[in-house]
Amino acid sequence: MTNFFIAEQLGAQLIQKGDETRIVYLSVDSRTIVAGMSTLFYALKTNRSDGHQFIRHAYDKGVRNFVISNAGFSVHKFPGASFLLVADTLAALQETAILKRNSFRGKVIGITGSNGKTIVKEWLSQLLADEYNVIRSPKSFNSQIGVPLSVWLLDNDADIAIIEAGISQPGEMELLQRIVKPDIGIFTNIGEAHQSNFESVEQKIEEKLKLFVGTDVIIYHKDYQGITDAIGSLAEHKSLCPITWSMMDETADLFIYFVQKIPEGCGIIGQSGEKQYAISIPFSDDASVENACTCLVALIAIGKDQDHVLNRFSNLQPVAMRLEIKQGKNECIVINDSYNSDLNSLTIALDTLDQQASQGFLSKTLILSDIFYSPKTDEVLYAEVAELVRLRMMDRFIGVGPNISKQAHLFGDNAHFYESTLEFLNELPLLEFKQEAILLKGSRDFQFDLIATTLQYKAHETVLEIDLSAMVHNYNYFKSMLKPDVKIMAMVKAFSYGSGTAEIARVLEFHHADYLAVAIADEGVTLRNAGIKMPIVVMNPEEHSFDLMIEHQLEPVIYSLRLLDQFIPYAHRSAVSYFPVHIKFDTGMRRLGFDSEDELKKLLAKINKTNELFISSVFSHLAVSDDPDEDAYTLMQIDRFEQLAAVVQAGCDHPVMRHILNSSGIERFTDNQYEMVRLGIGLYGISVVNKKALMNVSTLKTTVSQLRIVRPGDTIGYGRKGVAMGDMVIATLPIGYADGFNRHLGNGVGKVWINGQLAPVVGNICMDMCMVDVTNIDVKEGDRVIVFGKELPASEMAEALGTIPYEIFTSVSQRVKRIYFQE
As beta bridge partners, residue 366 has 397, 439
Cα gap 231→219, rounded to integer Å: 10
Distance CA 813, CA 803 (A): 18
Terminal CA-to-CA distance of the chain, rounded, Å?
31
Instruction: Establish whether 718 is a catalytic residue.
Output: yes
* Measured distance CA(417)–CA(449) in Å, rounded: 18
CA nearest neighbour of 295 among 276, 275, 316, 274: 316
**Crossing angle for the helix pair 173-180 and 89-102, nearest 10 degrees?**
30
Name the DSSP class of 198.
S
Amino acid at site 23: I
Nearest-angstrom CA–CA distance, 43 and 68: 5
Gap between the Cα atoms of 302 and 575, Å rounded: 74
> Could you give the angle at which helices 286-301 and 117-128 cross, rounded to 10 degrees?
50
Catalytic site residue from 208, 364, 487, 493: 493
Contact status, residue 144 vs residue 94, Cβ threshold 8 Å: yes
97 in Cβ contact with 108 (< 8 Å): no
Catalytically annotated residue among 275, 329, 483, 718? 718
Burial of 643 (0-12, 13-18, 19+ CB in 10 A): exposed
Instruction: Please state, in angstroms and rounded to a whole number, the distance separating the CA atoms of residues 532 and 505.
Output: 7
Classify the phi-psi angles of 463: left when phi > 0, otherwise alpha if psi is within -120 to 50, otherwise beta: beta
> Does residue 570 have an active-site annotation?
no
457 with 817: CB under 8 angstroms?
yes
What crossing angle do the helices spanning 501-510 and 468-479 adopt, rounded to 10°? 50
DSSP notation for 122-137: HHHHHHHTTTS-EEE-
Q: CB under 8 Å, gap of 24 or more: what pairs does 249-252 form?
A: 249/222, 249/223, 252/222
What is the rounded CA–CA span in Å between residue 651 and residue 663?
30
- HSE, CB side, 13 Å, CA atoms: give it for residue 283: 17
- Residue from 786, 785, 779 nearest 709 by CA: 779
Residues 664 and 679: their CA atoms lie apart, in Å, by: 9
Q: Please tell me the number of Cα atoms within 13 Å of 637 on its side-chain side.
A: 24
Alpha helix positions (H), 323-467 = 343-360, 378-391, 402-405, 421-427, 449-455
The catalytic residues are 493, 718
